[in-house]
Amino acid sequence: MHASIDGTRSNHVRRVAPALMASAILITSRVAPAEELKLSRIAMFSSGVAYFQVSGAVEGNATSELRFRTPQINDIIKSLVLQDFDGGTIRAVQYPSRDPIEKTLRSFGVDITGKPTLGELLNQLRGVPVETAAPTAARGLILGVEKQKMAVDQRLIDIEVLTIVTDGGLRSFKLSELGGIRILDAKIDGELRKALETLATSHDADKKTVTLEFAGQGKRRVQVGYLLEAPIWKTSYRLVLSDDKKPYLQGWATIENTTEEDWKDVRLSLVSGRPISFIMDLYTPIYVPRPKEELELYASLRPPTYEGAMEQAGEAVNRQAGDSAKKARAARAFSFSVAAAPAAEEPTSHELDLKEDGVVSVATAQSTGELFTYDIPTPVSLARQQSALLPIVTGEIDGAKLSIYNPATHSKYPLNGVQITNTTGLNLMQGPVTVFDGNLYAGDAKLPDLRPDEKRLMSYALDLAVEVEQVMQSQPEEVVKLRIAKGTLWYQRKLVDGRTYNVKNKDRKARAVLIEQPYGPDWTLIEPSEPFERATNLYRFKLDVPPGTTGSLKVVLERYVDSTIVLASAGLDQIQWFLRHRTASPAVRKAMDEVIVRRTTLDQIIARRNETERQVSTIEQDQSRIRENLKSLPATSDIARRYLAKLDQQETQLEGLRKQVDDYRRQEQTAREELEKYLLGLEVE
């Protein structure tokens, strides 16, 4: 597809300019009818579109017509490519225009947008002469339609009443009782009929004709290409496994002709990859809203709105763009086919051998940029609304059978699987795989998109011949490193994830078991030294288990986590725990010993201050009690004198205690500042 377009690009570009210059006289140019253009090539993509190419011959000035369904016109406008070879030029491409139906309907004298009722329609025709049919025959001008309340079965309902001006005066009729209404104004009646015809045309599902015009001398070759929506082509595979042979892969492409014409001897290409494709409405006319201006005499002054400045005076914006590097991509050609085997005698066994079944790939493959194309060299014919299977891959590939165990899939049994390497030289599209093993159907698998030489695992059945036991070996976290920096104790913990997989092979053949274990960020594999392979967030380990035996695999992962505690506020018990830890260096031990001494001194001062403050609070409460008692006693009584003496004694005691509290607070402040200064100066490991 790409070669046919690109190969004539220079001619096409050279002819566009004169075609545009001549476009002003295209409508009146007389052209001769062209021979019918025939479908010659189709390229089907896996992104929901297909490229169609029609070709033929024209002579002199000629036209050709292609017909498409209305929804396809947008794709035609977006993708149409015309080529006139042998000295010809391309002129105009014409197609029926389409205005939004609502805009067209509003252009008529009678507006039927919004599905008006009969009453709403007649209200639009006020002043128009009409004639009502029997049994209430009358002739006159429509005055209007109004709703009135009417009692029906002891309830009020709204009825519509038409009033017309007749020669005998005003007459009113219930719309529901009128036998019919005829519009006597021929122009208004014609407008209504045209609006209805336009509405009916909008529902028309007929095809639209696209007219192509070519100009030139003599007989010439022309070619037209375009993209249309189409079903994606799909792939399915058959994979035959054997104990003594390489896996054999057979791939089939499913194509569908959903067009409205038969494909007859067309060149077919199947393109893998996912080019971006979208739909844009280019067919519907777009009207841009225009501002309404008023004469300055009548326009009021409006407050202006100012945009913010992008640059200030003296500022410069550097808009120099770097050159982008371009890489030329060389297309690699791949060719892969298997010749049909010569006739042989009927086999004595029923071995499933697709290599000798006569199915040969009908496609040759090549890479084109980022895409990969399967070209079918033999012309293809396919009736419309029919589908077909085409073999595109046939051959042996590299692969090995194994059992795949993942506890998240099944905690006890692994899955039968195969690890294949795409040695076909082709890009294999994703699709279902029917797996045969030992001449029997073994299960279904799913093949992802696979590039040449890429490896991939596939599983297709539950392997009941192998049992797996996963034994978790939990270990307590361990502090492996201590250091102190600026009053903060930094300690590093080691987390260990240990597991042992016990694999029992109940089969008579040796089994290769692939064990999958997930891992998170920052985890390091300790045992075994390296995995069989690593996927995203997943390790795979391979264990070969002889028949009738049990094998074991130990997997150990480690992770280190850093944590901190602030020594100034940490509990002494917590600090002493780290002090006794075996990983603490002599310098760290000495520093933490000093921290404990200073923290102990500070805590003792705080304790003495708290005790003194408690004594002050007790005396103050006793004084409050005494003062309350004095209020009810005579001032000259003995008990009153004793109370007064005690108050005097307590005041002296309080004065001394309050001085002690102040002294303890100063000592506490000094000890705290010295501790913080000491901690901030610590840098030990």
470-500 tens-digit pLDDT: 999 878 888 888 888 888 889 889 999 999 9
Q: Which of 369, 403, 417, 342 is nearest to 273 (CA)?
A: 369
**Distances in Å between the alpha carbon of 29 and those of 63, 93, 219?**
11, 13, 18
Q: Which of 319-333, 344-358, 527-541 has the lowest mean pLDDT?
A: 319-333
Classify residue 325 by its DSSP letter: P
Whether residue 281 is predicted with pLDDT greater than 60 in this model: the reply is yes
Please report the beta strands in 74-153, taking only residues with DSSP state E, as ranges in sequence order: 81-84, 89-94, 129-132, 138-152
Confirm if 23 and 39 have CB atoms less than 8 A apart.
no
Buried b (16+ CB within 10 A) or exposed e, 34-56: beebebbbbbbbbeebbbbbbbb
What pLDDT is recorded for position 148?
86
pLDDT, residue 207, reads: 73
Of 241, 170, 159, the residue nearest 433 (C-alpha): 241
In this structure, what token pair is assigned to residue 388? 């077909």
- Per-residue pLDDT, 356: 57
Residue-level pLDDT at 635: 82
What is the predicted pLDDT for the residue at 18?
Answer: 32
Distance from first CA to last CA of the chain, Å, rounded? 70
Token reading at 588: 């760290």
Tokens of 405: 């165990």
**Amino acid occupying residue 381:** S
pLDDT tens by residue, 8-63: 333 333 333 333 222 222 323 344 454 588 999 999 988 889 999 999 998 888 88
Mean pLDDT of the chain: 80
Q: Give the type of residue at 376.
A: I
pLDDT score for 351: 56
SS3 sequence of 292-307: CCCCCCCCCCCCCCCC
E runs forming strands in 6-61: 32-33, 38-45, 49-59
The 10s digit of each residue's pLDDT in 169-191 is 898 888 888 888 899 989 988 88
- Looking at per-residue pLDDT, the higher value among 361 and 305 belongs to 361
Does pLDDT of 360 surpass 60? no
Q: Looking at residue 359, what is its pLDDT? A: 56
How many Cα atoms occupy the beta-carbon half-sphere of 468 within 13 Å? 30
Using omega within 30 degrees of 0 as the cis cutoff, is the peptide bond preceding 528 cis? yes
Give the mean model confidence (pLDDT) for residues 199-213.
74
Identify the band that residue 677 occupies on the pLDDT scale cut at 50, 70 and 90: confident
Beta-strand ranges (E) seen in 246-359 are 248-257, 263-272, 333-334
The rounded Cα 168 to chain-centroid distance in angstroms is 73
Residue 604 per-residue DSSP state: H
Amino acid in position 154: Q
CATH of domain 465-566: 2.60.40
* pLDDT band, very low/low/confident/very high, at 333 (cuts 50, 70, 90): very low
In this predicted structure, what is the pLDDT of residue 30?
Answer: 41
Inter-residue contact 587 to 683 (CB < 8 Å):
no
Q: Give the mean pLDDT of 654-666.
A: 91
To 10 degrees, the CA torsion angle through 344, 347, 352, 355? -20
Question: What is the percent of the chain where pLDDT is above 70?
Answer: 82
In the three-class reduction of DSSP (H, G, I as helix; E, B as strand; rest coil), residue 101 is classed as: helix
From residue 45, how far is each of 270, 331, 370, 618, 665 by CA, in Å? 6, 19, 13, 93, 84
Check residue 355 and give its pLDDT: 60
Q: What is the pLDDT of residue 500?
A: 95
Chain centre distance of CA 514: 32
Which of the 8 DSSP states describes residue 450? B
What pLDDT score does 363 carry? 53
Stated pTM of the model: 0.61
Cα–Cα distance, 503 to 403 (Å, whole number): 11
Residue 136 binned pLDDT confidence (cut-offs 50, 70, 90): confident
Q: pLDDT higher for 328 or 107?
A: 107
- pLDDT at residue number 71: 85
Domain ranges of the chain: 113-193, 465-566, 572-684
Instruction: Look at residue 374 in the predicted model and tell me its pLDDT.
Output: 85
Q: What is the mean pLDDT of residues 62-69?
A: 87
Task: Write out the two tokens for 33.
Answer: 């009818």
Q: Which of 505, 471, 519 is nearest to 403 (CA)?
A: 505
Lowest mean pLDDT among 4-18, 303-317, 621-635: 4-18
As a whole number of angstroms, the distance between CA 391 and CA 483 comes to 69
Instruction: Say if CB 85 and CB 222 are below 8 A apart.
Output: yes
List, as one string, the DSSP characters of 506-519. Answer: -SSS-EEEEEEEE-
Looking at the chain, how many residues does it have? Answer: 685
Q: Give yes or no for residue 90 having a pLDDT over 70.
A: yes
User: From CA 314, how far away is CA 76, in angstroms rounded?
Assistant: 52
Ranges 85-94, 402-411, 644-653, most confident:
402-411
Q: Residue 335 pLDDT > 50, yes or no?
A: no
Residue 489: left (phi > 0), alpha (psi -120 to 50), or beta?
beta
Q: What is the pLDDT of residue 3?
A: 35
Structure-block tokens of residue 518:
């997930």
- Beta strand 511-518 with 398-405: parallel, antiparallel or unpaired? parallel
Tokens standing for 605? 């001062």
Half-sphere exposure of 296 (CA within 13 A, CB side): 0
CATH 1.10.3470 for domain 572-684, yes or no, is no
Q: Residue 368 is encoded by which pair of tokens?
A: 């084109």
The beta-strand segments (E) located in 319-439 are: 333-334, 364-368, 371-382, 386-396, 398-405, 415-421, 431-437
Quickly state the pLDDT bin for 570 (edges 50, 70, 90). confident
Over range 61-67, report the average pLDDT: 88
- Residue 517, phi then psi, degrees to nearest 5: -135, 125
As a whole number of angstroms, the distance between CA 437 and CA 458 comes to: 14
84 has a pLDDT exceeding 70 = yes
Quickly tell me which residue has 């009417």 as its tokens: 150
**Tokens 């070709």 correspond to what residue?**
55
Burial class (CB in 10 A: 0-12, 13-18, 19+), 366: middle
Residue 311: is its pLDDT beyond 50? Answer: no
Instruction: Give the rounded distance of the alpha carbon of 501 from its chain centre.
Output: 38
Q: Which position has the higher pLDDT, 304 or 662?
A: 662
pLDDT at 303 over 70: no
Residue 22 is predicted with a pLDDT of 29
Q: pLDDT value at position 13?
A: 31
> What pLDDT sits at residue 51?
92
Average pLDDT over residues 118-131: 88
Q: What's the confidence (pLDDT) of residue 531?
A: 92
How far apart, in whole angstroms, are the C-alpha atoms of residue 171 and residue 163?
6
State how far the Cα of 620 lies from the Cα of 639, in Å rounded to an integer: 20
Lowest model confidence (mean pLDDT) among 134-148, 232-246, 280-294, 563-577: 280-294
pLDDT at position 204 is 56
Average confidence (pLDDT) over 208-236: 90
Contacts of residue 241, defined as CB under 8 A and 6 or more positions apart, other chains included, come to 247, 399, 401, 418, 435, 436, 437, 438, 442
Separation of CA 531 from chain center: 32
